[in-house]
Amino acid sequence: MAKLKKHFICSVCNQQEVQWQGRCRSCGSWNSFSEEPSGGIPGVSAPVQGRAGTGIKGEQKGHSKAVALAEVPIPQIQRQSSGFVELDRVLGGGLVPGSVVMLGGEPGIGKSTLLLQMAARLQQRGTKVLYVSAEESALQLKIRAERLGCAESQFLLLCNNHLGNLVAGIHRRAETGSTGPELLIVDSLQTILEPSLGTVPGTPSQLRHVTQILQDCCREYKLTMLLVAHLTKDGVIAGPRTVEHMVDCVIYFEHGEHDLRILQANKNRFGSTSEMGILQMTDAGLEELKNPQQYFLSQRSGELPAGIAIAPVHEGSRSLLVEVQALTVPAKGSVSRIFADRLDNARVSRIAAVLERHTGVIFSDQDIYINVAGGLRLQDIALDLPLALALLSARKTRPLPKYLTSAAELSLAGELRPIKHEELRLRSAADFGMQQILLPQKRSTNTGNEEEAKVRITRLDQIEEVLQQIFPSST
């Protein structure tokens, strides 16, 4: 057999080079190139080689000619519950038959625990599940199942990391008719191997090939597939540009405070990416919270410390009150720095610049530290005003009123801009006992009168007005 030729490919953007490069000239990533075979087995094309190596039968089905968009039929999608209400929320209502979902998270965060519990719950409801473990043995999974209380479940286990064996097993069970699996769980993608490629598991070529073959297999047999993916040191799924575009949904599994686990979708072809799921890790596995609100606000008997602001945020269909924490200290060097764990540093820098320009409060000589209690990673634009209040409170070392909350977008001109879902934010504030809320000027005629009666609403136009409202003695 002729020797395989080699080339180098960037794991971030798929840029190909004939020699190893320290930095990718396409995306700028450092040390992202890995060596891979460029031609496969001489004389055999890559698609044919892949199907022959995995035993998939038949041709790829699809439209062979162009059709008018109006003539494309829309089938009624029957979503299936995953067994977790919070995961269903992030998925957009449940699992879509034939879809491919990727779940990424740090080692030890609970990905395998979540999927093991899901497999047991779905099997109990009559769904046929095949759990493929390429990292752990059947004994290890059995021990974990004993701890989770699902050791007697009848879902099928396949502990093998060879792609050909995996696809052959799916093919054999699917051909038997009624005993074929309906849900395929692969734990994990980076450990599945196709030996014909001549590389180790986890390389970009392996990830692309394995994902494509498994996806074709699921489409052929109408299986729903859940893939477990590892995160890199940068906090993204390994081989992001290589694999993420191939799947239907990408969900990140993140740590929160109080043993909380946060589920957030980065991509979802069948639903919104703004939803957030909240679970808690216990000795008996992952559990859903009846009242997640209590984990995001500190229960204090006295006044708030300086630098604390309460914000009603809206993520997807859920409104929560969260605590934004700010700390400012004199800069250690000639240039100030910003440390924001759960918010974008550029956003914090922008808010600080707007405050310095329109209120006269100096932040350019301060190191700024920002945190969101509970470990939530938030994107809500209405968090601008609470962040500004937390920075002002920290810089002036003066606490905000304990039962005050706020929500508004802050423009570069210092204006408070309108936000969405005011009614839901007002309801959340009222339910938690807030007495006053700062909002931008009313731009619509439909605002909940009942909530306005429970919470005193103060509507303002400029950030200078907010400063005088909260700190009247400031100049």
Q: Which of 402, 399, 470 is nearest to 438 (CA)?
A: 470
Asked if residue 110 belongs to a known ligand binding site, the reply is yes
Q: Which strands, in side-by-side order, build the sheet including 224-230?
A: 156-158, 129-133, 183-187, 224-230, 100-105, 249-255, 260-268, 276-282, 285-288
Asked if residue 28 belongs to a known ligand binding site, the reply is no
3-state secondary structure of 198: coil
Asked if residue 278 belongs to a known ligand binding site, the reply is no
d(CA 220, CA 375): 41
d(CA 33, CA 342): 30
Exposed / middle / buried, residue 415 (Cβ in 10 Å: 0-12, 13-18, 19+): middle
Question: Which residue is associated with the tokens 């021990």?
Answer: 143
- For 156, what's the count of Cα atoms within 13 Å in the CB-facing half-sphere? 19
Asked if residue 239 belongs to a known ligand binding site, the reply is no
- Is the preceding peptide bond at 298 cis, omega within 30 degrees of 0? no
Asked if residue 418 belongs to a known ligand binding site, the reply is no
Strand 338-340 relative to strand 260-268: parallel, antiparallel, unpaired? unpaired
Phi, psi angle pair for 268, to nearest 5°: -155, 110
d(CA 440, CA 168): 61
Cα angle 171, 172, 174 (rounded to 5 degrees) comes to 65
For residues 307, 312, 315 and 319, what is the CA-based torsion angle, rounded to 10 degrees? 140
Strand 224-230 relative to strand 100-105: parallel, antiparallel, unpaired? parallel
d(CA 454, CA 469): 20
Residues 6+ apart with CB under 8 A from 311: 321, 322, 323, 324, 382, 383, 385, 386, 387, 405, 406, 407
d(CA 470, CA 398): 10
Strand 276-282 relative to strand 260-268: parallel, antiparallel, unpaired? antiparallel
Whether residue 223 contacts residue 183, with contact meaning beta carbons closer than 8 Å, is answered with yes
Asked if residue 360 belongs to a known ligand binding site, the reply is no
Joined tokens for residue 174: 């699917």
* Residue 428: how many other CB atoms lie within 10 Å: 23
Which region holds residue 38: left if phi is over 0, alpha if psi is between -120 and 50, else beta? Answer: alpha
- Please give the annotated binding residues for ATP, written as ranges: 105-112
- Please give the annotated binding residues, written as ranges: 105-112
